[in-house]
Structure 1
Amino acid sequence: MCGTLLSCWEDVAAITQQLEHLEGLHLSNNRLRVPSEVSPLCRSFCSLRTLALNNCDLTWTQILECAPMWPQLEVLSLEENNITELRRPEGVLQSLKNLNVSSNPLEQNTVLSIAALPRLEELNLSKTGLSDIRFDDAAPGSQTDMFAALKTLRLDYNKITEWCVVNELGKLRSLVIFTCRGNRLLSSDGNPRTANQMLIAKLGKLELLNNGQIAPDDRKGAECDYMKMFGLEWLEAGGGSEPSREFIIKHPRYPSLVQKYGAPDEGLLKKWVPLALKNQLLKITFVFPDHPDRKPIEKKLPDSMKVQKVKGLLNRLLKVPPSDLKLTYTTLKKMGIEYEIDIDLKTLSHYAIEDGDQVQVRWS
């Protein structure tokens, strides 16, 4: 029906009555007049589950006036309409699972008006001018009761520049898919990879970010980097005893990360630098604790070298399969403590390995 020009819902109803159990309807690029009485039309749309009304010059008020016609509606697309202000749907749209209001000039302080929709799982707010959102019913680090079923949120090409907005999104209890391309969320080092790591670390339940799968190793690496990045600030704010309220507001997930991985080592924090800094050659000594007959091997390696490549080098030197190699390292600043090197796709700088450190090499 997308190729038919229509002006009123009565015309739509007349056509749909010829189609039993109609579940999907695409009425984009039409100019539909709101009916004065919707109840006579309800029968025509009682089975409707998917409705697209893109570029129909409709307001949210008009949508709510028509909504009693669609008691079973689950998917509603309203791209490029005249929607500026959202209002709470009272007794309508209660079956809605997927709502797309992208490319509408929304007043951002009205977005929470739809937060009580009980079954809403996917919300697209891209290109709406959004710069802020607040869930004031929940303290930093806790979960909001708003958008309780929301699993997917799309905020692409908005005006989000502050990490406090991401902290607020961390309060959503069910969020697992998030897209935010085209916003200016910058890390202190200006590296987009670092910004992505911060998003993963701040949103602890995410499974997909910008349509990319988050593997367990990616999450662990992002969270460990985040802990190192703000570890000194954490120490200065009170550390493990009781971080200041100001620190918790800025980094609400930090205490749970400390609980997950343990408190960051103060000595390592002071020598950690962002991945974006220029490569340095590190003098590293490889030692073999289980094979004392083997002499230590000294190499100069770039700090950007991945653990996978290091294992490849050791494979050529030792003739041991890379998958059998287990690596740890020790630093002169913390004698007697071995730190695991356990993610093949991370770099030496990720582990804060410094010039002069020793890497212990073991294999089964």
Structure 2
Amino acid sequence: MESLRKSSSRLPNVFDGSEIGVIREVTNDLIGARVMQREQRGTIKYVGTLANSPAVWIGVDWDSPDRGRHNGSYKGVKYFDAHGPTSASFVKPDKLTLGTSLEEALVTRYVLCAECQILTRNSALLQPGGDPSTGVRLEIGENAGHLRATLTSTNTSADAEYTDDHTGDRVVAPLTVELFTSNPCDHRHHEKCGAAGAESALRRLRTGSVPGIPVFRCLRDGETEGENPVLWPSTGGRLSFYLPNLVELDLSYSLLSKWTELARICRQLPTLRMLNVSGNHMRLPPTANDNIESLLDSDRRLQFDVDTNPSQAEDLCSTSFTTLHHLAAVRMSNMSWAVLKRIMSWMPSIKEICVAYNPPSISFSSIKLGDFPSVETPDGQSIAETFSGLETLDLTSTELTDFDRVLEVVGSAPHLTSLLLNGNKIRTLRLPTTSPPMLRALNQIGLRDNLLEDWESVNELARLPVLTTLILRQNPILLNCNPNAAARRFIGSFCLDKLKKSINYCIVASSFLMNLIPSFFSCSETARQEIIARLPKLKSLNFLEVAADERRGAELDYLKRYSKTWKEAQDSVDTKAMFAKQHPTFLQICEKYGPPDASDGKVSVLPYFCPLLWPSCNASKFLRYQPVIKSLKEGLLRVHLLCEPPAPNSHGVEHVIERKVPARITINHLRTLVRRVFQLPPQARIDLISLGCRPESSDVEVPLEADTRELGFYGVADGDKLLARWRT
């Protein structure tokens, strides 16, 4: 207990900054730097005096729009521009911290034991009454690494939602959790918490992850962490010695504000391959083309890193990222195509880039990615050359609207295998006819949450030679495949009063809805079946595998759905060409299963459907308007569905279910109905068997094998049992 208290009391809490991050000189050099105060982060935009105050203040534009008090103005004087009306405030320098060093963050994360990490962040936990703000009390067990945490609180109205107690505040029983964090045989482990254990712990490290810790730089050459170093055993500039095997480094949401500071870190890591700097606000050093002399000093410092000689900065950056293969730069406020092009020019080995969700908010910066510049411009040509070596590109939520521009930049990339365009505003996809084909190595594309509005865009994806994985959700085109939505649109087009009064309107409604029977008897994901049928090489759709059984069902349903249109298109050359353009895989599916029968695509209008829409109507009134039922095959059959074995996720669903189905339902549609009713997994293979109900057929199993045959073909009678045997 005493050794733990002594160990934790001498260790700094790097989450609140360390001695390295203390602001010692208050000058304009601080403008553009990132700072923190009580876990709130912001950017310094002003350094100087205020009206009626001789003291030097620091003007901070906080990331949180409600953290400050004003918009950068004080007593009628505008000192700087803030991104929100209440996001700015003036703070005394000693109330802010620049953060901590990477070395101290790594030791805190990977060298300190769990007890020291907990108590370093919140020493109040060891007080006799615990932490008054949280109600948590921490006790040290008898053995090393044994902790006992106790939570004592009152049940307030805010907790009633979770405790199901609405009687007002009351004291609840304390909750105790025991933690075992280290080897109980190691009674001296606290002696290695800090600098003494850094070398042995860090030299084995392959992944360094310090997200959220306010790292703003590494230690300088010859610099120590402070007057009395307790975390880092050496001077700065020795990361290569302590981290010889580091492959991945996560510095997301830290306090980095300069790419040169990041370069000084990466220069010391010769084996680094993956780097995550998401959520940082970093400035580039200026180039000869940047006209920084025309800018005010404060604007110059906010936009550029002017503290390093430009030529030296360029040499530093161009030699520090040469080993990187993967870069994640999500939610970077100053990201643009020009910035990204320059960053990638420093990374000759880069293979994977993620620049999703840029910009994070228009309030932070007017810069956003948006569409690529045209390749007819010098910037567009340069970007296309820079991106030519990529294998993975993530452009999720980057305001893209023009897929043609995407093709111009990355379409010829010979090794691009994954392209994520989720969350953009792309309306159409068209692939030009080129040799070699565009995106010839692409096997995965993400198009979730776009504005695709025609099936021709989906047809175009079939032209990608090796595409096997597709993410396609939340697009307007998929809404058109929802049969329930189609029914709602139809009903909404009529006046409800007329529907109740006019028998003719009910007949029309019944006819319309019965034409939707193939969709109603298909699975709820009609759009999924449509996509699978249109993309013959697809193996995964929306993170679900496309099994052989599912593909067969989707393709047969596709034949059934468009067979009538196909037959009507045979009348002329023009209509045949138009159909082939709209359904390029239809003939391929016909070659696979045979052309549709003459009866396919025709669904009889049945009177029983009307009462489902309007129960108050008398169904007998409709009979004289309906075709005469000439045989049992054109009516309904009452069948008993059995599942063997029971579905693992049935959640109480009965294993024998009675259903009325049309005698003309195909075996493929019946299989889909069974899959939905018994909640069987999508990849399950289902064999349907007729057991009969008559004495002479009770022991005879008749396999229902032909997917295109109708149920009546097998002589299934009213009351028969149908067994579904499934396997994965």
Q: Of 371, 374, 381, which residue of structure 2 is paired with 1:85?
A: 371
Partner-residue secondary structure (3-state), 2:445: strand
Q: Which residue of 2 aligns with 1:197?
A: 529
Matches within 5 A, 1:210-289: 210-238=542-570, 244-271=576-603, 281-282=636-637
Alignment check: 8 A CA contact 1:158 1:183 kept? yes
1:25 aligns with 2:272: no
Matches within 5 A, 1:145-160: 145-160=437-452
Q: Of 102, 121, 128, which residue of structure 1 is paired with 2:396?
A: 102
Call closer, same or farther: CA 1:102–1:300 in 2, change over 3 Å. closer
Cα distance between partner residues in 2 of 1:152 and 1:68:
26
Note the C-alpha offset of 1:319: 3.7
| Structure 1 stretches lacking a partner, 5+ long | 285-298, 329-339, 342-350
Partner-residue secondary structure (3-state), 1:45: coil
Amino acid in structure 1 at the alignment position of 2:424: T
Amino acid in structure 1 at the alignment position of 2:583: H
Alignment check: 8 A CA contact 1:137 1:145 kept? yes
Q: Which residue of 1 aligns with 2:625?
A: none
Note the C-alpha offset of 1:242: 9.6
Bigger drift between 182-191 and 117-126 goes to 182-191
Amino acid in structure 2 at the alignment position of 1:32: M
Percent identical: 27
Deviation per residue, 1:309-333 (Å, 9 max, x gap): 852645996446x7xx5335xxxxx
Partner-residue secondary structure (3-state), 2:320: helix
Deviation per residue, 1:74-131 (Å, 9 max, x gap): 2211011121122453432333111111111113142212211211111111111111
Call closer, same or farther: CA 1:356–1:239 in 2, change over 3 Å. same
Amino acid in structure 2 at the alignment position of 1:282: L
Amino acid in structure 1 at the alignment position of 2:415: R
Alignment check: 8 A CA contact 1:131 1:159 kept? yes
Cα distance between partner residues in 2 of 1:97 and 1:353:
48
Note the C-alpha offset of 1:137: 1.7
Call closer, same or farther: CA 1:239–1:197 in 2, change over 3 Å. farther
Q: Of 315, 325, 337, which residue of structure 2 is paired with 1:49?
A: 325
Amino acid in structure 1 at the alignment position of 2:405: T
Cα distance between partner residues in 1 of 2:571 and 2:275:
56
1:127 aligns with 2:423: yes
Cα distance between partner residues in 2 of 1:53 and 1:130:
22
Cα distance between partner residues in 1 of 2:315 and 2:575:
58
Note the C-alpha offset of 1:281: 2.1
Cα distance between partner residues in 1 of 2:252 and 2:659:
65
1:327 aligns with 2:704: yes
Partner-residue secondary structure (3-state), 2:319: helix
Call closer, same or farther: CA 1:302–1:265 in 2, change over 3 Å. same
Partner-residue secondary structure (3-state), 2:254: coil
Alignment check: 8 A CA contact 2:356 2:395 kept? yes
1:60 aligns with 2:337: yes
Question: RMSD between aligned alpha carbons?
Answer: 3.4
Call closer, same or farther: CA 1:170–1:272 in 2, change over 3 Å. farther
Cα distance between partner residues in 2 of 1:233 and 1:134:
24
Call closer, same or farther: CA 1:80–1:306 in 2, change over 3 Å. closer
The number of residues matched between the two structures is 317
Q: Of 292, 302, 311, which residue of structure 1 is paired with 2:689?
A: 311
Call closer, same or farther: CA 1:144–1:166 in 2, change over 3 Å. farther
Cα distance between partner residues in 1 of 2:531 and 2:559:
13
Alignment check: 8 A CA contact 1:39 1:69 kept? no
| Structure 2 stretches lacking a partner, 5+ long | 1-250, 288-310, 359-367, 373-379, 487-518, 613-634, 640-657, 663-669, 676-685, 723-728
Cα distance between partner residues in 1 of 2:545 and 2:481:
21
Call closer, same or farther: CA 1:301–1:357 in 2, change over 3 Å. farther
Cα distance between partner residues in 1 of 2:596 and 2:572:
10
Q: Which has the larger radius of gyration?
A: 2
Amino acid in structure 2 at the alignment position of 1:174: V
Note the C-alpha offset of 1:61: 2.3
Alignment check: 8 A CA contact 1:27 1:54 kept? yes
Cα distance between partner residues in 1 of 2:709 and 2:595:
16
Note the C-alpha offset of 1:221: 0.7
Q: Which residue of 2 aligns with 1:353?
A: 710
Note the C-alpha offset of 1:14: 0.4
Call closer, same or farther: CA 1:115–1:194 in 2, change over 3 Å. same
Note the C-alpha offset of 1:235: 1.3
* TM-score calculated relative to the size of structure 2: 0.40
Cα distance between partner residues in 1 of 2:548 and 2:400:
36
Alignment check: 8 A CA contact 1:130 1:160 kept? yes
Alignment check: 8 A CA contact 1:51 1:75 kept? yes
Amino acid in structure 2 at the alignment position of 1:353: E
Q: Of 179, 182, 196, which residue of structure 1 is paired with 2:471?
A: 179
Note the C-alpha offset of 1:200: 0.3
Partner-residue secondary structure (3-state), 1:237: helix
Cα distance between partner residues in 1 of 2:420 and 2:571:
38
Note the C-alpha offset of 1:133: 1.3
Cα distance between partner residues in 2 of 1:105 and 1:300:
49
Call closer, same or farther: CA 1:243–1:257 in 2, change over 3 Å. farther
Alignment check: 8 A CA contact 1:151 1:174 kept? yes
Call closer, same or farther: CA 1:240–1:170 in 2, change over 3 Å. farther
Q: Which residue of 1 aligns with 2:254?
A: 4
Cα distance between partner residues in 2 of 1:158 and 1:234:
30
Partner-residue secondary structure (3-state), 1:66: helix
Note the C-alpha offset of 1:175: 1.0
Alignment check: 8 A CA contact 1:50 1:73 kept? yes
Q: Which residue of 2 aligns with 1:72?
A: 349
Cα distance between partner residues in 1 of 2:593 and 2:573:
16
Cα distance between partner residues in 2 of 1:300 and 1:53:
54
Call closer, same or farther: CA 1:74–1:146 in 2, change over 3 Å. same
Call closer, same or farther: CA 1:52–1:359 in 2, change over 3 Å. same
Cα distance between partner residues in 1 of 2:526 and 2:357:
33
Call closer, same or farther: CA 1:188–1:101 in 2, change over 3 Å. closer
Alignment check: 8 A CA contact 1:27 1:52 kept? yes
Cα distance between partner residues in 1 of 2:391 and 2:687:
46
Alignment check: 8 A CA contact 1:237 1:244 kept? yes
Amino acid in structure 2 at the alignment position of 1:232: K
Call closer, same or farther: CA 1:238–1:264 in 2, change over 3 Å. same
Cα distance between partner residues in 1 of 2:385 and 2:604:
55
Note the C-alpha offset of 1:134: 0.8
Cα distance between partner residues in 1 of 2:693 and 2:413:
57
Cα distance between partner residues in 2 of 1:241 and 1:164:
20
Partner-residue secondary structure (3-state), 1:238: helix
Partner-residue secondary structure (3-state), 2:252: coil
Deviation per residue, 1:135-182 (Å, 9 max, x gap): 1327xxxx9811111111111111122212111112111111111111
Note the C-alpha offset of 1:236: 1.4
